[in-house]
Amino acid sequence: MTFPPCRSCGSEHPELVLSLGRTPLANALLTAEELDRPEATFPLDLVFCPGCSLVQIAETVPPEQLFGHYLYLSSFADTMLRSAEDLASRLVSTRRLDAESLVIEIASNDGYLLQFYRRAGVPVLGIEPAANIAEVARNRGIDTLTKFFGADVGRNLRAEGRLADVVHANNVLAHVADLNGFVEGIVTILKPDGIAVIEVPHVKAMFEKLEFDTIYHEHLCYFSLIALEKLFKRFGLAVVDLECIPIHGGSLRLFVAASGRPSSRVCDLLDEEHFAGLDRFAYYGLFGEKVGVLRAQLLDLLDQLKRSGKRIAAYGASAKGSTLLNYCQIGRDTLDFVVDRSTVKQGLYTPGMHLPIVAPEAIVEWKPDYLLLLAWNLADEILEQQRRYRDLGGRFIVPVPEPRIV
């Protein structure tokens, strides 16, 4: 089987790590009227590039199809808001940002992060390709461009004199097909002493914790620091510091600049990745086999519970949940519904498995015995929100890295 060239270095020989078959787009939620229509599906094959060590999926779905109308609002996740507020406060202080500064966020969603800079009196600009989400941000007073970011947008902003002291790119680099154009755009809009703060899920955590459900068509790339260093170096950028953060199952927050020496944390993680073998295919080779075992364990647990007469629903109509449900083929014969706090998802149906998405109040009304936690990356937050359900005897099933009941 041959695959397209690497998105980063152009190598012609990516190697297959795992195939999840053909699946619908993870965020392509359906209305009731659409349930009887054929759904588009696409191959979901994960590959490794021996040229630059980048892990990526082989298929590229046009970004307009993925993000032109989006149904994820960051402000519905309390964990994301707390992290955003803390980060903005720190950068306002350490970078001495004021009314003469500019903070730009790429893929700014509903203004969840930029609102904290704005409250501190720092000018902001959001760049958000989803028109419906950009409108939410503008209604909150966040200046927002409705565009896909890349080298052209960067050049236009530079021509307008809109250069940034800080550029944020949280959980967007993994969604980008043209990695080189994206990084070139960042270089173009950064002031000479500016800094880019880029968050990406860490492929090491993903593989060690068997987080296979983070693989979906919106997530084109799965980064190691090794692969990122090679990408940034191509454009004269360096990772000068980093933080390992728990968001999305384990992420890297990178501080990237045009000059500066890497911190000890950067050097230590590079050494750790090389020692573990993240630059070699052998590190990734057993992933598919382990995922198959996890799938069998989860299906066996759910089957046992259903046979004993238990009612099961799910919590979190997330993209990762879509991958898990479709790969494991968990549908209406197992789950009654999916709960989600996001009002823009309620009343719709999950792609592929066609499970109805309802408000959290359904938990109290229907009293399922178990909730399959699809948004396991927000487990602490959700378990606390559903304390009453748990106090009344309700249990959660956490599916990865191995199925367990809490």
Which domain, by its residues, includes 118?
74-283
| Residue 45, domain member (yes or no) | no
| Residue 57, domain member (yes or no) | no
Given this model, what pLDDT does residue 82 score?
87
Residue numbers in the chain where pLDDT is lower than 50: none
| Residue 182, domain member (yes or no) | yes
* Residues contacting 10, CB < 8 A, separation 6+: 51
| Residue 92, domain member (yes or no) | yes
Question: Are 274 and 138 found together in one domain?
Answer: yes
Question: Are 258 and 340 found together in one domain?
Answer: no
Q: Is the peptide bond before 351 cis (omega within 30 degrees of 0)?
A: no
Any idea what the CATH number is for the domain that residue 345 is in?
Answer: 3.40.50.720
CB 73 within 8 A of CB 136: yes
Given this model, what pLDDT does residue 184 score?
98
* Residues contacting 61, CB < 8 A, separation 6+: 25, 42, 217
Question: Are 104 and 199 found together in one domain?
Answer: yes
| Residue 340, domain member (yes or no) | yes
Any idea what the CATH number is for the domain that residue 172 is in?
Answer: 3.40.50.150
Q: How many domains does the chain have?
A: 2
Question: Are 153 and 208 found together in one domain?
Answer: yes
How open is the CA angle 266-256-125, to the nearest 5 degrees?
145
Question: Are 224 and 357 found together in one domain?
Answer: no
Given this model, what pLDDT does residue 246 score?
83
Question: Are 382 and 275 found together in one domain?
Answer: no
Question: Are 325 and 265 found together in one domain?
Answer: no
Closest by CA position to 48, among listed 18, 72, 95, 14? 14
| Residue 307, domain member (yes or no) | yes
Given this model, what pLDDT does residue 67 score?
60
Question: Are 193 and 333 found together in one domain?
Answer: no
Q: Which residue shows structure tokens 């099933």?
A: 397
CB 80 within 8 A of CB 74: yes
The dihedral over CA atoms of 368, 74, 247, 118, expressed in degrees to the nearest 10, equals: -150
State phi, psi for 269 to the nearest 5 degrees. -70, -35
| Residue 58, domain member (yes or no) | no
Closest by CA position to 261, among listed 279, 280, 241, 275? 241
86-142: pLDDT as tens digits: 999 999 999 999 999 999 999 998 898 999 999 999 999 999 988 888 998 999 999
Choosing from 240, 256, 283, the residue where a domain stops is: 283
Question: Are 245 and 340 found together in one domain?
Answer: no
SS (H, E, C) the chain: CCCCCCCCCCCCCCEEEEEEEEEECCCCCECHHHCCCCCCEEEEEEEECCCCCCEEECCCCCHHHHHCCCCCCHHHCHHHHHHHHHHHHHHHHHCCCCCCCCEEEECCCCCCCHHHHHHCCCCEEEECCCHHHHHHHHHCCCCEECCCCCHHHHHHHHHCCCCEEEEEEECCHHHCCCHHHHHHHHHHHEEEEEEEEEEEEEHHHHHHCCCHHHCCCCCCEEECHHHHHHHHHCCCCEEEEEEEECHHHCEEEEEEECCCCCCHHHHHHHHHHHHHCCCCHHHCCCHHHHHHHHHHHHHHHHHHHHHCCCCEEEECCCHHHHHHHHHHCCCCCCCCCEECCCCCCCCCECCCCCCEEECCHHHHHHCCCEEEECCHHHHHHHHHHCHHHHHCCCEEEECCCCCEEC
Choosing from 249, 283, 317, the residue where a domain stops is: 283
CB 125 within 8 A of CB 117: no
Choosing from 232, 250, 283, the residue where a domain stops is: 283
Question: Are 318 and 175 found together in one domain?
Answer: no
Q: How far is residue 263 from each of residues 238, 243, 255, 374, measured CA to CA in Å?
A: 11, 11, 10, 36
| Residue 11, domain member (yes or no) | no
Q: Cα separation of 218 and 174, whole Å?
A: 8
Question: Are 342 and 271 found together in one domain?
Answer: no
Given this model, what pLDDT does residue 68 score?
54
* Rg of the Cα atoms in the chain: 21
Given this model, what pLDDT does residue 130 score?
85
Given this model, what pLDDT does residue 370 score?
98
Question: Are 200 and 326 found together in one domain?
Answer: no
Q: Which residue shows structure tokens 């054929």?
A: 38
